Structure 1
């Protein structure tokens, strides 16, 4: 089915992994959009706060002649935006809601995976990124904590079940599901931090050593939609600059979600 007649404007900042979720979704679904840069290093403007009172990025403004006579509507928070885009029309990210029992089971499996990642794993990455500004022991402790949590909570969910396909993504699929959309931007950054020496190099090695997660992660970070516009060198260099800001006391927290 063709994509709906809809106009999309993404308010974003290139450093934000949550923005990257939305960008990956837009690319994966081949949806046209325009981008408005939001400087998250300075207080938000009144104009942007009118769009998103929380002041975070991303935000997505959309309009369609098929909805409210084309009046503009805003969706905030990356996970909500991703679900919105995934439900616009039938696609490979989410099985159609009315497609029968098997589709309902598949959707539930994806939702449970995303819920587990968001509630059990995502909060730990704040400690990972803070540890990258600290000493070697802090970084190693953060690594052990995250690898252990992924082994306990995520590794079992990636085990193939009866009826799964032979693909590398959740449920044996050949293409990204919503699960990969949510996780991939975080993993590609962790790998970049590890390769760039901002986290222990063992971090990436130990994640890839997990039997299910390792193969899944390797497949994810090769996805063309994820890599479109991704500049690892600039990301690592920018992160090193933030490290120096942290050390001299001028580091400012970001606001993306």
Structure 2
């Protein structure tokens, strides 16, 4: 693969999907230019020529080729830098990484969204329980990951992988459920052993130096406050 000479990343600091590209750049030490796109205003025509849907992230390579969609952008950057080891060579581990990401998007994130943004007190308790139930299923996936004997806390053990990168920004947002929903407190591993592996994994991922550069809990709270007001 011939690497491009110049990469422009179109991003937004508070978009959890754009964070995938941001983390891929950081973990691979890929040199790039960043253009921030305001997602609260209509997209300018010049950006719609890059991404007709106006979404982020997108990257432009050498001012000609464009790549869209967060996972595809992040995987492309990972492929440019196999030395970073974000994707293992083992087929089973690669499949498990992809399934964890797919499962989170299809099952876990919808449950999180309902729990975080509920304004109906009568349904809040059930939505919170549904979210915890989904996280218990993620815990099972984490426990059954083929870590090749590695005993670290990331998805595949000691090595930070594409699975950790792709879901990191969503893991940083989990406290928002507790922050805004009175009466809900995220359980500890002692209180709910079915979440022990998940909690261990989440704590390891959010402590990663690259992940610490993402918006803080306080910054996210301000963003979520505006969303809840609109709701």
TM norm structure 1: 0.78
Count of aligned residue pairs for this structure pair: 225
User: Structure 1: where are the runs of 5+ without partners?
Assistant: 64-70, 97-102, 247-257
Q: Does 1:142 align with 2:124?
A: no
Match of residue 104 from structure 1? 91
User: Structure 2: where are the runs of 5+ without partners?
Assistant: none
Match of residue 75 from structure 1? 67
Query: After superposition, what is the alpha-carbon deviation per residue over 1:14-73, rounded to whole angstroms, capped at 9, x for unaligned?
Result: 22111112111211111122111211112211111100011111111123xxxxxxx621
Q: Does 1:94 align with 2:87?
A: yes
Query: After superposition, what is the alpha-carbon deviation per residue over 1:165-197, rounded to whole angstroms, capped at 9, x for unaligned?
Result: 01111122x232111112110111122x145x2
Match of residue 60 from structure 2? 61
Match of residue 119 from structure 1? 106
Match of residue 187 from structure 1? 171
TM norm structure 2: 0.86
Change in 2 beyond 3 A, CA 1:23/1:200? farther
Match of residue 100 from structure 1? none
Structure 2 CA distance for aligned equivalents of residues 12 and 207 of structure 1: 35
Match of residue 50 from structure 2? 51
Structure 2 CA distance for aligned equivalents of residues 186 and 201 of structure 1: 22
User: Is the 1:164–1:171 contact (alpha carbons within 8 Å) kept by the matching residues of 2?
Assistant: no
Match of residue 84 from structure 1? 76
Indicate the RMSD between aligned Cα atoms, in angstroms.
2.4
Q: Which has the higher contact order (CA 8 A, sep 6+)?
A: 1
Q: Does 1:175 align with 2:167?
A: no
Q: Does 1:205 align with 2:187?
A: yes
Query: What are the equivalent positions in structure 2 for 1:13-52 lying under 5 Å apart?
Result: 13-52=12-51
Structure 2 CA distance for aligned equivalents of residues 129 and 6 of structure 1: 42
User: Is the 1:10–1:34 contact (alpha carbons within 8 Å) kept by the matching residues of 2?
Assistant: yes
Q: Does 1:231 align with 2:216?
A: yes
User: Is the 1:25–1:225 contact (alpha carbons within 8 Å) kept by the matching residues of 2?
Assistant: no
Q: Which residue, 242, 246, 254 being the options, matches 2:227?
A: 242
Change in 2 beyond 3 A, CA 1:164/1:170? farther
